[in-house]
Amino acid sequence: MRHFLENVTGLEIYPLISFVIFIVFFVWVTLRVATRSRREVAEMSQIPLLESNHESKA
Amino acid sequence: MNDTIQLERQTQRIEGIAPGKSGVNYENFNYDNRTVYWFAAASIFWGLVGMLVGLLVALQIFIPEMNLGTEFTTFGRTRPLHTNAVIFAFVGNAIFAGVYYSMQRLLKTRMFSDLLSKLHFFLWQGIIVAAAVTLLAGITTSHEYAELEWPIDIAITVVWVIFGVNMIGTILRRRVHHMYVAIWFYLATFVTVAVLHIVNSIELPISFLKSYYVYSGVQDALVQWWYGHNAVAFFLTTPYLGLMYYFLVKAANRPVYSYRLSIVHFWSLIFLYIWAGPHHLLYTALPDWAQSLGTVFSVMLIAPSWGGMINGLLTLRGAWDRVRQDPVLKFFVVGVTCYGMATFEGPMLSLKNVNAIAHYTDWIPAHVHVGALGWNGFLTFGIFYWMFPRIFGTKLYSTRLANAHFWMGVLGIVFWAVPMYFAGFTQGLMLKEFTADGVLRYPNFLQTLLQVVPMYAIRAIGGAIYLSGFVVGAYNLYMTVKSGKLVADEADSHPALVPDAYHDGKYAWHRVLERKPVVFGLLTTVVILIGGLIELTPTFLIKSNVPTIASVKPYTPLELEGRDIYIGEGCLACHSQMVRPFRSETERYGEYSKAGEYVYDHPFLWGSKRTGPDLHRVGGKYSDSWHYNHMENPVSMSPGSIMPPYPWLLEKDLDVSMTAEKIKAMRKLGVPYAEGYENRALEDLNKQAAEIQARLQKDGIQTPANKEIIALIAYLQRLGTDVKLAQQTQN
């Protein structure tokens, strides 16, 4: 029985690990995104609207 | 700086043309619109079928006669048919139509292989037909939204690989450097659905159309809801967000509100979603830490979900005047709003105290249908209204009909969802209500159910309105198709991709990734695997997660056969087998359920909705003859019951040809049947059947011992008794 309880407390580490991984990942992505140039971002967002010569207009 | 030059440079950069090179060579190519059209037409066809079945199911739930008196048309089988049809046939085909259309244009290339596109289309429709036939025949694994048996699972895997190869091949052949955000959503969908499908399909086949999951009990439940939740995430959400980022932008004719937000929201969404599965199992026998994990990540999910909604809605800022006139935009606005509502509600439902009331009630179908009818349905309709005129080189047949469809859809959703919220709330509270003396105010489950039956009727009306709107829409699109001609191969031209054209030294991290779809796919896999592994592994590795209970014994052969009848008839569509640790439940049903009681349950049968009472402690509650009469005609024992009658169980002979195989398979999966027991199994089976036959005879019921009902009674009488009996002997 004691063995069982030990394991159960040990498990609380899992949510913690997950949380830390997420925060690190999130901060990384956000920083990367935030440091991109305004122009570059604007260009990428235009991709679906680039009309080639034949494509039917909206 | 000269504006023209700047514009030219910008175009060059986006399109991947080497700067400064003049006289660029344009390459000519065609977009494949035929496959797009086929998928769209299939989506409409199956959507109408699936929703018609939905309407039938909605009627069956409160009018037992609507079960039409056959096993093939009874609720337990029609309900999975409905869910599978709308998810995988209606939404699935719509995803493929939208992905094939947008991907070619975003990457300025034809799909990688026409042959693969064709195979993809025809095999997918084949799977849908096979699904419909097997589900109605009662061939099912019982895992919700993964009911299909192993040969079909393999076929799905093949189609998925075909889709993946076709998609990645197209990306590799693109003429545009950058992979637009919609494509990431498509790739994430591909990768994750592949992982989910494989993990949740690990079954041990015992015959061509029968298998058992290798997982049991708590583990099986965790895997199933890890899958189930992420099927919502990666089949109903991510592909549609991808479609939103293309079609909404096209229809509004303005770029997405914030591209940066779309990146952050993409990664957070796929990261967080994969963890949230356990919120389907709060207060169950699942270990506490896993439940908490599910709650925390579910609450966090609200941020990326709303990021997507806000990005979608704000894209329309300044175009609101057009929203009022353009049915396409109207569908999009309401669709995205429904997404926001459903993704706000989801995290709320993951809070334990809300979940305690809402779980197992009609609140959950209401939540699901705001998402399904509002988000998936309305986005699909908007996309089709926008796309059909374009691929048929014509105009939409009637804007007025499209508007009519829109309003019928809105009305349908309201009439569907509002009564179900009301029903869920009412019944959820009634079931928990105690009198001043501390006894249950409504001890009879049926009492609480009959209270909400009128709501079921209104819900069916809501469904009928929504479906009628869809019929109007289908007619409108059909007339549009008739008035034009399919532009099967739509010509376009674009300069070839010049490798490394982007030379101003700014290889931002993400751009590198986007240029390498394979790397991108791998990173996505890693992200979702982190979540999956951390969540699933402990439950599998640490034995103490499922404390064993000495009194829990494997099922007898007859009970095992009865259990398979329970699975085949789809009883778990209405009945849970999971008494939660609330006084309101232990008073009503008995001792709450322990993880250790399910160790031999391949698969687990906890259920997700209580249209009927929980059955985990039903063993020994009634006599055999009560069950016999109740199954033949429920109202004879429970006046006013809306449970479907199952008279054929009294007629049909029990098929014992596979019993020995089943015992062997179970032993392989770790159920401790003695070596060689399969040879004596039938003997035991017949003995137990004869005992039940004798007990029935005492109550004046004459029946041969080899009928299916005998096995089912054996199973029902066994349910939950391991713990009950152990307690009795202790006392």
Q: Span B549-572, mean pLDDT?
A: 95
Confidence band for A12, pLDDT divided at 50, 70 and 90: low
User: Residue B543: inside a domain, yes or no?
Assistant: no
Among partner residues B14, B390, B534, which is closest to A46 by beta-carbon distance?
Answer: B14
Among partner residues A8, A18, A41, which is closest to B534 by beta-carbon distance?
Answer: A18
* Final residue of a structural domain among B509, B537, B565: B537
The pLDDT of residue B154: 96
Among partner residues A36, A45, A46, which is closest to B508 by beta-carbon distance?
Answer: A36
For residue B275, pLDDT beyond 60: yes
The pLDDT of residue B284: 82
N-to-C CA span, chain B: 92
For residue B514, pLDDT beyond 60: no
Would an 8 Å CB–CB cutoff place A20 in contact with chain B? no
* Final residue of a structural domain among B503, B537, B571: B537
The pLDDT of residue B19: 45
Task: Note whether B267 contacts A40, CB cutoff 8 Å.
Answer: no
| B159/B126 Cα distance (integer angstroms) | 10
What angle do the packed helices B302-315 and B288-300 form, to 10 degrees? 20
Whether the link from the prior residue into B603 is cis, omega within 30° of 0, is yes
Same-domain check for residues B602 and B530 = no
For residue B48, pLDDT beyond 90: yes
Same-domain check for residues B201 and B277 = yes
Same-domain check for residues B520 and B610 = no
Nearest to B383 by CA among B101, B104, B166: B101
CA Rg value for chain B: 27
CATH code of B694's domain: 1.10.760.10
Q: Span B110-139, mean pLDDT?
A: 98
Distance from CA of B527 to the nearest CA of A (A): 9
The pLDDT of residue B532: 80
Q: Which residues on chain A are in Cβ contact (under 8 Å) with B245?
A: 48
Same-domain check for residues B453 and B583 = no
For residue range B183-218, list pLDDT tens digits in order.
Answer: 999 999 999 999 999 989 999 999 999 999 999 998
Distance from CA of B180 to the nearest CA of A (A): 7
Task: Note whether A33 contacts B293, CB cutoff 8 Å.
Answer: no
CATH code of B428's domain: 1.20.210.10
Q: Span B616-626, mean pLDDT?
A: 97
Q: Span B265-292, mean pLDDT?
A: 85
- Rounded to the nearest integer, the mean pLDDT of chain B is 91
User: Residue B552: inside a domain, yes or no?
Assistant: no
| B508 vs B112, more confident | B112
For residue A55, pLDDT beyond 80: no
Task: Note whether B14 contacts A52, CB cutoff 8 Å.
Answer: no
Q: With b meaning 16 or more CB within 10 Å and e meaning fewer, what string describes B274-298? A: bbbbbbbbbbbbbbebbbbbbbbbb
Residue B450 C-alpha from the chain's centroid: 28
Which helix (H) or strand (E) segment is B211 a member of? strand B210-213
What phi and psi values does residue B212 have, to the nearest 5 degrees? -120, 145
Other Cβ atoms within 10 Å of A49 Cβ, number: 14
Is residue B378 a contact partner of residue B335, using CB atoms and an 8 Å limit?
Answer: yes
CA angle B327, B331, B334 (to 5 degrees): 135
User: Residue B299: inside a domain, yes or no?
Assistant: yes
Would an 8 Å CB–CB cutoff place A37 in contact with chain B? yes
| B572 vs B218, more confident | B572
Q: Which residues on chain B are in Cβ contact (under 8 Å) with A55?
A: 105, 490, 492
Other Cβ atoms within 10 Å of B433 Cβ, number: 11
Same-domain check for residues B614 and B528 = no
Residue type, B472: V
Task: Note whether B492 contacts A52, CB cutoff 8 Å.
Answer: yes
| B534 vs B133, more confident | B133
**Bridge partners of B698?**
none
What percent of chain B shows pLDDT beyond 70? Answer: 92
Q: How many domains does chain B have?
A: 2
Per-residue DSSP letter, B492: E
Q: Is the dihedral of CA B379, B224, B428, B53 positive or negative?
A: positive
Q: Span B593-607, mean pLDDT?
A: 93
For residue range B385-415, list pLDDT tens digits in order.
Answer: 999 999 999 999 999 999 999 999 999 999 9
The pLDDT of residue B515: 59
Same-domain check for residues B225 and B151 = yes
Task: Note whether B542 contacts A44, CB cutoff 8 Å.
Answer: no
Token representation of residue B235: 């089949």
Chain A with chain B: Cβ pairs closer than 8 A:
124
For residue range B647-665, list pLDDT tens digits in order.
Answer: 999 999 999 999 999 999 9
For residue range B355-383, list pLDDT tens digits in order.
Answer: 999 999 999 999 999 999 999 999 999 99
- Residue span of the structural domain in which B128 resides: 2-25+32-537
For residue B10, pLDDT beyond 80: no
For residue B535, pLDDT beyond 90: no
Among partner residues A4, A14, A41, which is closest to B547 by beta-carbon distance?
Answer: A4
The pLDDT of residue B237: 97
Range in B229-233, B498-502, B690-694 with the lowest mean pLDDT: B498-502
Q: Which residues on chain B are in Cβ contact (under 8 Å) with A12?
A: 289
For residue B16, pLDDT beyond 70: no
The pLDDT of residue B23: 61
Confidence band for A11, pLDDT divided at 50, 70 and 90: low
Residue type, B360: Y
Task: Note whether B264 contacts A55, CB cutoff 8 Å.
Answer: no
Range in B25-34, B333-342, B510-519 with the lowest mean pLDDT: B510-519
The pLDDT of residue B632: 97
The pLDDT of residue B11: 55
**C-alpha atoms less than 13 angstroms from C-alpha of B36 in its C-beta half-sphere:** 26
User: Residue B551: inside a domain, yes or no?
Assistant: no
Q: How many domains does chain A have?
A: 1
| B354/B428 Cα distance (integer angstroms) | 10
Which helix (H) or strand (E) segment is B414 a member of? helix B399-432
Same-domain check for residues B532 and B569 = no
For residue range B466-505, list pLDDT tens digits in order.
Answer: 999 999 999 999 999 999 999 999 999 998 876 554 444 4
The pLDDT of residue B105: 96
Distance from CA of A40 to the nearest CA of B (A): 9
Same-domain check for residues B247 and B368 = yes
User: Residue B509: inside a domain, yes or no?
Assistant: yes
Token representation of residue B690: 């004869």
Question: How many helices (DSSP H) and strands (DSSP E) are in chain B?
Answer: 31, 4
Same-domain check for residues B572 and B520 = no
The pLDDT of residue B18: 47
Closest-CA residue of A relative to B530 is A18
- Residue span of the structural domain in which A37 resides: 2-57
For residue A17, give Cα distances in angstroms to A12, A21, B192, B347: 9, 6, 22, 21
Would an 8 Å CB–CB cutoff place B128 in contact with chain A? no
Same-domain check for residues B209 and B261 = yes
Q: Is the pTM of this model over 0.95?
A: no
Confidence band for B531, pLDDT divided at 50, 70 and 90: confident
What phi and psi values does residue B62 have, to the nearest 5 degrees? -120, -5
- Which residue is listed with tokens 């939660």? B580
The pLDDT of residue B305: 95
Nearest to B438 by CA among B575, B587, B318, B327: B587
Q: Which residues on chain B are in Cβ contact (under 8 Å) with A29?
A: 263-264, 267-268
Same-domain check for residues B576 and B484 = no
Among partner residues A11, A19, A43, which is closest to B289 by beta-carbon distance?
Answer: A11
Listed in sequence order, the DSSP H helices in B301-362 are: 302-315, 320-325, 327-350, 352-358
Q: Span B289-311, mean pLDDT?
A: 90
